[in-house]
Amino acid sequence: MFAYFVRRLLAAIPVMLVVALAVFLLLRLAPGDPAAIIAGDTASAAQIESIRVALGLDQPLHTQFYLWISRLLQGDFGTSLISQTSVMGMITQRLEPTISLALAAIVFTVLIAVPLGVIAAWRQGSFIDNLVMSVSVVGFSVPVFVIGYLLIQVFAIELRWLPVQGYRHLADGFGEFASRLVLPALTLSSVYIALIARMTRASMLEVLKEDYIRTARAKGLGERLVLFRHALRNAGVPILTVIGTGFALMVSGVVVTESVFNIPGLGRLIVDAVLARDYPVIQALILLTAGLYVIINLLIDLSYALTDPRIRY
Partner 1 sequence: MRNDTPVLHVESLVVETTGTSPRTILKGVSFEIHAGETLCLVGESGSGKSVSSLATMGLLPPRSLRATGGRITLDGESLLEASAKRLSALRGSRMAMIFQEPMTALNPVLSVGQQLDEVLACHTQATRAERRTQVLEALEQVHLPDIQRVYQSFPHQLSGGQRQRIMIAMALLLKPRLLIADEPTTALDVTTQHQILALIRELQEKHGTAVLFITHDMGVVVDIADRVCVMNTGEIVEQGPVRELLGAPQEAYTQRLLAAVPSLTPRPTRPVTSQRQVLSVSELEKEYAPPRRLLGFIGKKRAGTRAVDKASFTLQAGRTLGIVGESGSGKSTLARCVMRLIDPTSGTIRVDGNNIAELQQRSLKPHRGRIQMVFQDPYRSLNPRLTIGQSLIEGPMNYGTSRAVAMARAKELLQLVGLPSDAIERFPHQFSGGQRQRIAIARALAMEPDVIVADEAVSALDVSVQAQVLALLDDIQQRLGVAVLFITHDLRVAAQICDDVLVMQRGRIVEYGPAEEVLGNPQDSYTRQLIDAAPGRTWDFAACAPVA
User: Contact letters (x/-) for partner 1, 101-140, by CB under 8 A?
Assistant: -----------------------xx---------------
At position 144, the amino acid (one-letter code) is V
- According to DSSP, the residues that pair with 79 across neighbouring strands are 86
With CB under 8 A as the contact rule, the residue among 162, 181, 216, 270 that binds partner 1 is 216
> Is the Cβ of residue 41 or residue 211 nearer to partner 1 in the bound state?
211
268 touches partner 1 by CB under 8 A: no
> Is the Cβ of residue 1 or residue 107 nearer to partner 1 in the bound state?
1
- First-to-last alpha carbon distance for the chain, in angstroms, is 5
> Is the Cβ of residue 32 or residue 222 nearer to partner 1 in the bound state?
222
With CB under 8 A as the contact rule, the residue among 37, 86, 217, 298 that binds partner 1 is 217
229 touches partner 1 by CB under 8 A: yes
Taking the C-alpha atoms of residue 192 and residue 198, their distance in angstroms, rounded to an integer, is: 10
In whole angstroms, the minimum distance from the beta carbon of 19 to partner 1 comes to 25
214 touches partner 1 by CB under 8 A: yes
Contact present, 280 and 211 (Cβ < 8 Å): no
With contacts defined by CB under 8 A, name the span among 93-101, 169-177, 283-291, 302-310 that binds partner 1.
302-310
60 touches partner 1 by CB under 8 A: no
With CB under 8 A as the contact rule, the residue among 12, 43, 182, 221 that binds partner 1 is 221
CB crowding 101-126: b at 16 or more within 10 Å, else e:
bbebbbebbbebbbbbbbbbbbeeee
> Is the Cβ of residue 121 or residue 285 nearer to partner 1 in the bound state?
121
- The set of residues, in sequence order, having a beta carbon less than 8 Å from that of 28 and lying 6+ positions away, is 34, 61, 64
8 touches partner 1 by CB under 8 A: no
Count Cβ atoms within 10 A of the Cβ of residue 94 and give its class: 0-12 exposed, 13-18 middle, 19 or more buried: buried
Contact present, 311 and 305 (Cβ < 8 Å): yes
219 touches partner 1 by CB under 8 A: yes
In whole angstroms, the minimum distance from the beta carbon of 233 to partner 1 comes to 5
> Is the Cβ of residue 1 or residue 157 nearer to partner 1 in the bound state?
1
Alpha-helical (H) ranges within the chain are 2-29, 34-39, 45-55, 61-73, 87-122, 127-141, 144-151, 174-179, 182-208, 211-218, 223-225, 236-252, 255-260, 266-275, 279-307
> Is the Cβ of residue 216 or residue 250 nearer to partner 1 in the bound state?
216
With contacts defined by CB under 8 A, name the span among 54-62, 221-229, 270-278, 281-289 that binds partner 1.
221-229
> Is the Cβ of residue 7 or residue 71 nearer to partner 1 in the bound state?
7
Which residues from 174-213 bind partner 1, rule CB under 8 A? 210-212
Taking the C-alpha atoms of residue 106 and residue 115, their distance in angstroms, rounded to an integer, is: 14
159 touches partner 1 by CB under 8 A: no
Taking the C-alpha atoms of residue 159 and residue 85, their distance in angstroms, rounded to an integer, is: 42
71 touches partner 1 by CB under 8 A: no
CA torsion 95-100-103-105 (nearest 10°) is: -120
Taking the C-alpha atoms of residue 32 and residue 277, their distance in angstroms, rounded to an integer, is: 14
Residues forming contacts to partner 1 in the complex (CB under 8 A) are 2-4, 6-7, 124-125, 210-212, 214-222, 225, 229-230, 233-234, 307-310
